Structures are given as C-alpha cells and as structure tokens.
Structure 1
Amino acid sequence: MTHALDLSRILETADTEGRQAELAALRGLHPSDIAEVLEESRLEPGEVVEILSAVGNHKAIDAFAQLSMETQEACLEAGNAQTMLRFVENMEPDDRVDLLKAVDDEVREAIMPLIAQAERNAIRKLWHYEEGTAGAVMTTEYAMLTKDLTVGEALSHLRLQAPNKETIYYIYITDQQRRLIGTISLRDLIMSKPYAQLERIMETNLISAPHDMDIEEVAALFSKYDLLAVPVVDKENRLLGIITVDDVLDIIEAESTEDFQRISAVLPFDEEYFRRPFHRLFWSRFIWLAILLLTSLISTTIMEANQDALHQMLALSFFIPMVMGTCGNAGTQSATMIVRSMALGEIETSDGWRVFRRELLMGLALGVSLGLIAYFRVFLQDQHALLGIIVASALLATLLAANLVGALLPLILKKIKLDPALTAGPFIATIIDAVGIAIYFQIAFILMRTFQA
C-alpha cells in the first residue's frame, strides 16, 4: 500500500488530478504510516513540510509527531515559522521541549513568541528539569478534578477537559494547593452512581514519582504496578504532570539501545544508522576501540615481562588463549547478569556483600570444575603433570577473580553514578584478560620454582 505512493506528484502543482489522488491516498493512511512514508522518501525537509501542509488535517499534525527527532528538527529549521507553528503547538509538551532544545537558537527564538502563552508556560516548566529524570519526560496535559464533586459533575468537567488532554483514563484528585490526594480511573467513574462523591470512591493508595526520579526507576513502577500513567509530584506532593505508558516504551527502547551500544563498546548515539554522519559513526567506535587497544597492551606487557618463564616452559604459551578466553567469558557472564538484575530492580548497590558471597562460591565451583577438565586434558595429551597443575590452578584463580570483578564492578560504577552497562562486553573482557594473564604467570612462576626445587 505505502510503496504505491508517488509523493513527487503532490509537489507538482500542474498535475491537479494526480496530486489530489496521491493526497487522498496519503490521508487514508495512519499517521505513523504517513511518517514512515515521508522518512523513506528521502525528500528535502522543506518538501516534507509542504506535503504535510497539503495533507492539511489532524493526521498531518499527528504524522509530524511520529517523525524522527532529526527529521522534525530539519523541518523546523527549513520551514516557515508560521507554517510550523501548528505542528509544534500540537505536539505533546515533553516532545515539544525536546525539539525546541535540539534546534538552533535563532529558529527557537523565531517560533517561541508565536506560541500561545499557556504553551510557553508549559515549555518553561519542563525546560529546566534534568535529562533522564521523571520531570524531563512528563506531560502537563492531564485531567484533574477536586474531591468535592459528584460523579455527574465530574463527567461534565471531564468532557470540557478531554479535548486538550493526552489521556483521561486516570483522573487525578487534588486539593486547593494542587497536592495530589487521590486518583480514579475513567472506568470506575463511569460505573459509579451519578450522585456519588469523588472523595468516597477515589483511590488514596497512590503510586507517584518524584520529579527527580531516574527514568529507569519510573519504568520499573509501570512494570511492577501495571499502570498506564504515573503522576509526577514535587517535594510537597504537588501534582506537576504525568508520564504515560507510551513515553515509558520510548524510554525503555532508548535505554536498551544505549546499554546495547555500551555493551558493544560503542559510544551511544540516537540517530538511525544511515542518518548518522560517517565521521561521527567512526568516532563513536574509534574511541572505545582505542581504549580497549591500550588496555589490551597491558596483557602484552605482562607477557613480555614474563618471557623467562615462557623460555623455561614453552608449552605455557599454548594455553594462554584458553585461560584468557575462559576467564573473559566468565567475567562477561557475571557482569551481564548483574547489570540485567540491577536494571530490573532485583539487585541494589546495598546488596554488594550478598553478591560477593554468591559469586565467590560460584567462582570456586566453576574454577574447580573447569580446572579439573583442563588438568586431565593437559595430563592425558601432553603427559606433563606440572603443566597440568599450572593450567588448572590458573583457571581456578582467574575464574574466581573474573567472577568477582564482573559481579562487583557494575555495583561500584552504579555507586559512583556511572552506567553499569560499561562493564559488560569487550570492556570487562579486556580488563579481565590483563588480570588473568598476570595471575597465570604468577602461578606458573610459583609452581615451577616449588616443583623444580
């Protein structure tokens, strides 16, 4: 359906009949599909604005909101301020603030005076909230009533509020100072008797988010309590806004993408792959690869410093990849499990001692099991008992160290306000490689001196 559209015909004003046919087909699509067609068309930003203006109904406004941030920014910078005003004014407040923060200062200064006073006030309220907090992603468009109303009166008030609100499934009950005192779902409101007081039927056991709560913690509230929206409050419990489930889905996608990029040793970026300029894509990969290269040189330095041991027993070098690979994999396993459990709220930084004891036992169990396998492999194939003992002992020690480092490093990073996802993937493997090779040679030196003496 979408591939049959020829958007160029809409831009050709001479072909009136063809233009109207294409516009009719475009208007028949869902706003998300319209946005997808425009994204895939590779049109200039000004042409995208022209087509949306030609569509000319609520679908055009909704479609603009579904475009990527990069496309919205380009359209706003390319379009006339008066033309773009209706698109910007009808965006959700949090999305509108994100867009205005992204564009050039002169573009923002040109369009801000044209925005209605009420919308400008909402922009100012959201502007100064720190990125990554509940306040930065909330919307100020929510349904609010007072507790003294009856159900019938509440429904009448709600009909007036509904056209300008993002969602009315939850209605929030506040006092005269806008302090949140209760909530009621639209379903419960409809099912209640018209003369019932809201004060008697509202839910007072409230789940809310402070404005400075981390967005990952907000997402955990939605998951735990199966909510469609969460109210955001200040320190005095005054209602500031709400976060809806569609915002949380976007948050989860963004956080998952960022964690995946960090795990893959790539500096996080928001753009689509083909939209990110080549030099910026290169830089986001080069930085971490350079850091990992420098870190891996530690392993090379350790090996060079222990060349005497390699000369005494050349067979030691044959098992270096096995020892380093196994301990690196074990460290990555531990780090990945701990990072995931922290993201789900199963592990807190205060659980460090419990994690230490559990991973200590796990490291010992894995080390003994895999060490025995390695020993019999070396002894049976190479007929070298000392080499078998060295390899088995090194595996036990390196697995124990890798398990503990992989498990505890995410907790330490979280404690000092850094992203625990940094510890998973190539980063933790490279660190543990250096630790593992150092342990391997130390054990080799100690055991060779002991047995040779």
Structure 2
Amino acid sequence: MPASLPDYSRQELRNLVRIQLQSLLEEGDFRGAKAILVPVQSADIAEAIEGLPEAMQAIAFRLLSKTEAIEVYEYLDSTIQQALIEEFKRQEVIDIVDQMSPDDRARLFDELPAKVVSRLLEQLSPEERRATALLLGYEAGTAGRIMTPEYIALKETFTVAQTLERIRSLSPVTETIYYLYVTDTARRLTGILSLRDLVTAQPHQTTGEIMIRDVVFVHTDTDQEEVARLIQRYDFLAVPVVDREQRLVGIITVDDVIDIIEQEATEDIYALAGVQADGDNYFQTNLVTVARRRVVWLLVLLLTNTATGSIIKSQESLLSRLAVLAAFIPLLVGTGGNVGAQSSTVVIRGLHTDEIRTLGAVQIVFREGIAGLILGTMLGTLATLWAYWLQGNLSVAIAVGASLLAISVLASVAGSTLPFIFRSLNLDPALMSAPFITTAVDVLGVLIYFNIARLVLGM
C-alpha cells in the first residue's frame, strides 16, 4: 500500500492544479493562474491544460514563458498542438516549433496537414530545417523517423579533460549526456563511452583507451518495435542509429521508446477488438469517424455469420424433433470464441515480444491444442453435468459435453494458427485474427454440435 501512495498523491495534485487553474481563468485572474503554474512540472502543466475547456487551453498556454511553453508543448496531445497552431500568431508558432527537439518536431509534423508543415518548414532556421527534413525522409515506424540527431560525438584522441569540457559546452543542445559516442573521421561509429566510465577515468586518458568497442546499434530502417525490444533487453538509456555506411546519424532515447511501446500496445488492443486505429486519440475523435472505423469488421462478421444461420436453418428437422438442442448453441459458440481469443492473444503477444522466437509455429500450435484438450475436458464435463441437471436427458448432455470438448480443441488450434498464417501473408495478426476466429468458431462449432448430436442421438 505505501508504494502506491506517491502516485495517488501526485494525481490528486494534478487534478487540484487543473481545477484551480480553470477557476482562476474563469475569474479573469491571469496573474494568479500564472503563479500556480510556476512550481509545476512541464508534463503536469500539459495535463492540466488538456483538462481545460477548449476555449481556455490557448489562454492558459499563453501564460507560460517562452522556455516553459517549448517544454510544455512537447507533452501536449497532438490534437491540442494543432489547435494551438491555428490559434497562435504565426511568429509565436515558429518560435516554439523551432526550439523543439527534432524528433518531437517530426512527430508533430506527422499529425499536421501538408500545407501547414510546408509553411512551418520554410520558417525554421536552416539547421533545424535540415534536421527535421532528415527525419521526415525516413519511413514512418522506423528508427530513422524517431531518432534525434542531438547527441555528443567524440574522437578517440580526446582526453578525459577535453571530453568533459565538450560535454559542458554541448549539454544544452543535446538529448542526453549519459552515453557518448566515438566516431572516426568519416563519422563511422567506433565505440561508446558512458558518463560513469568517463568521470571515474584519469584526466590524461583518452576516450580510445576507455571506450567500449563492441557497440550495440540499430540501422535507420530498423522497425521501431525492434528498437524498443533492444533497449528493453539491454536496459539501455539510449541506442545509437547508423546508416548503411555505418555512419552515426542519431540516437533513440528510452523516453521515446516508452512512447512507442504505448502506441504499439494501443494499436494492438484496438486491432484485437476489430477497431481500426490511425494513431489519433480515440476519445477525441469525431463520433462519425469512430463509427466508420468500427463498422468495417462488424459488417464482415455480420455477413459471414449468416453462414451460422444457414446451418441452423438446415437442421430444422433435427431441432423440430428435439428443440432443446437449440438452447445450448450460445453456450457452445460463446465458450469456443473465448477459448480461441485466449489462444490468439497469447500467440500475438508472443510474436510482438519475440518470446516465442525459440519455439517453432508447429510446437506452439501443438501446445495450444493440448491446452484446448485439457480445457475442453474440464469444461465439457461441467457442461455435461449442467445439461443433464437442466434437461434430464443423458444423450443431449453427452452431445453438449462432447461438442464443447471438440470446439475447445478447434478454437485453440485456430486461435494459435491464424496469427502465424496472417503474419506470413504480411497482414497484421492482431487485426485479422479476432474476426476470423470468431467466424470460424461460430460456423464450425455449430456444424460440430449438430453432427455430434445426430451421432449420439442416432438421428
């Protein structure tokens, strides 16, 4: 319990700041509103502004000093960043955008209309324009697109004393000083040096003597999810990015990776539910757009599930003789869908985290099939007893239990197989698996149930 207290208290503080800020703005007490923001962290100020009514957001932002505004702007949601751009005078926007980190600026430009981006690029300083154009030139979702070119590069001949002096001069304009990168005359990455190793070395030693030459790095075209896994695996604070000629072009820091993990997790969760995600904040998106994104797979399921209705209709003779069979259809297909969803979820998660790299697809499917058999045995036994208690018909109870066993195995195998199939076809396993598993289990489950019922009942 004590461990959760600081988080709870900080959330309470953020809510208090937002409430007081809104109250002061409503009263027109701008001096008081500005005063309460002075001791507040930039990220918390951004959250407070996001919680204000839309008309007050620009007013609150204008209360910040230029330095504070630049820091707070980077933490704001992209929709609010765009709204502020439209609200501000042109030069105010340029001053803020020009001082942003190149990677944060590139992320903002990805969200803006092309005309606005062109206008802003023209007004940036030449150095910042080149840095931003470099990042925007790489494909979205790659290391090159999310890296920052703000790092400290050294030469092997630098002494410790010279390196410390270089850090002092460059620290205001670099992303991080905890890792220092050593390059040759052609800017090729040759080594890495941690700040810890630097400050514990002797002043006369050179970076070439104390640096680590076996450097872990990524290329500009490396997928951002692979970058996140790499930083997680080695507990890095940052990872260097090189081009095809092994020249150092940027670094990716752990705070950027946290954003990537959140973004990818959100996309996967939406995809598992059959909801299309375009990177926008779902709860700030127009409801018509929300409905349009969600209706796609719902229409697919609506059309494909007509097959289930056709199968049930084809069994009218069986149902007319023993109508009680229809009462257990929802139980069977619902349980099958849940079992399939569980299998697909663990497999998709394993594919994304690379946890199943050492296991082959066949072994994974076999393992899930055995799990389905065990689950089906337990659930089928309970379903048999439940059906017999409800109806008092042993044959119907056995048909329900046996069907649930078969459907559980089918759902487990389908749920673990489909993600591998879709990935081999270069389709998103998360987006494609859930709707297909639901449809397959519904259609095949009903078929299995009626055929087993006919066999057990001798009809």
Aligned to 2:356: 347
Aligned to 2:217: 208
Contact 2:179 2:192 in 1 (8 A): yes
> Which amino acid in structure 2 is aligned with residue 34 of structure 1?
I
Which runs of no fewer than 5 residues in structure 1 stay unpaired?
13-17
Choose the corresponding residue for 2:145, options 136, 141, 157.
136
Q: How many residues align?
A: 443
Choose the corresponding residue for 2:396, options 383, 387, 391.
387
Aligned to 1:15: none
**Given the superposition, is the C-alpha separation of residues 441 and 276 from structure 1 closer, same or farther in structure 2, using an over 3 Å criterion?**
same
Q: CA–CA distance in 2 between the matches of 1:116 and 1:91?
A: 12
**Given the superposition, is the C-alpha separation of residues 4 and 389 from structure 1 closer, same or farther in structure 2, using an over 3 Å criterion?**
closer
1:22 partnered with 2:53: no
Give the TM-score normalised by structure 1: 0.90
> Could you report, residue by residue, the CA deviation over 1:184-204 in whole angstroms, capped at 9, with x for unpaired residues?
111211111111121121122
1:375 deviates by 3.5
Aligned to 2:132: 123
Choose the corresponding residue for 1:404, options 409, 413, 425.
413
SS in 1 for 2:351: helix
Aligned to 2:440: 431
> Which amino acid in structure 1 is aligned with residue 43 of structure 2?
S
Aligned to 1:82: 91
1:179 deviates by 1.6
1:370 deviates by 3.0
**Given the superposition, is the C-alpha separation of residues 89 and 318 from structure 1 closer, same or farther in structure 2, using an over 3 Å criterion?**
same
Aligned to 1:284: 293
Could you tell which deviates more after superposition, 424-433 or 346-355?
424-433
1:271 deviates by 3.8
1:5 partnered with 2:5: no
What's the C-alpha RMSD, in Å, of the aligned pairs? 2.5
**Given the superposition, is the C-alpha separation of residues 307 and 246 from structure 1 closer, same or farther in structure 2, using an over 3 Å criterion?**
same
SS in 1 for 2:252: strand
**Given the superposition, is the C-alpha separation of residues 244 and 374 from structure 1 closer, same or farther in structure 2, using an over 3 Å criterion?**
same
Choose the corresponding residue for 2:189, options 177, 180, 184.
180
- Residue identity over aligned pairs, in percent, reads 36
1:41 partnered with 2:57: no
> Could you report, residue by residue, the CA deviation over 1:47-102 in whole angstroms, capped at 9, with x for unpaired residues?
75565454223112101111111111122233222211121012121221122233
> Could you report, residue by residue, the CA deviation over 1:381-429 in whole angstroms, capped at 9, with x for unpaired residues?
6454433343233222211111100011112222222222225656633
Structure 2 counterparts to residues 67-78 of structure 1, below 5 A: 67-78=76-87
**Given the superposition, is the C-alpha separation of residues 307 and 7 from structure 1 closer, same or farther in structure 2, using an over 3 Å criterion?**
same
Q: CA–CA distance in 2 between the matches of 1:143 and 1:237?
A: 17
Q: CA–CA distance in 1 between the matches of 2:205 and 2:358?
A: 47
Structure 2 counterparts to residues 283-432 of structure 1, below 5 A: 283-348=292-357, 351-379=360-388, 382-422=391-431, 428-432=437-441
**Given the superposition, is the C-alpha separation of residues 26 and 362 from structure 1 closer, same or farther in structure 2, using an over 3 Å criterion?**
closer
Q: CA–CA distance in 1 between the matches of 2:180 and 2:386?
A: 68
Aligned to 1:193: 202
SS in 2 for 1:147: coil
> Which amino acid in structure 1 is aligned with residue 330 of structure 2?
P
SS in 2 for 1:148: coil
**Given the superposition, is the C-alpha separation of residues 372 and 5 from structure 1 closer, same or farther in structure 2, using an over 3 Å criterion?**
closer
SS in 1 for 2:427: coil
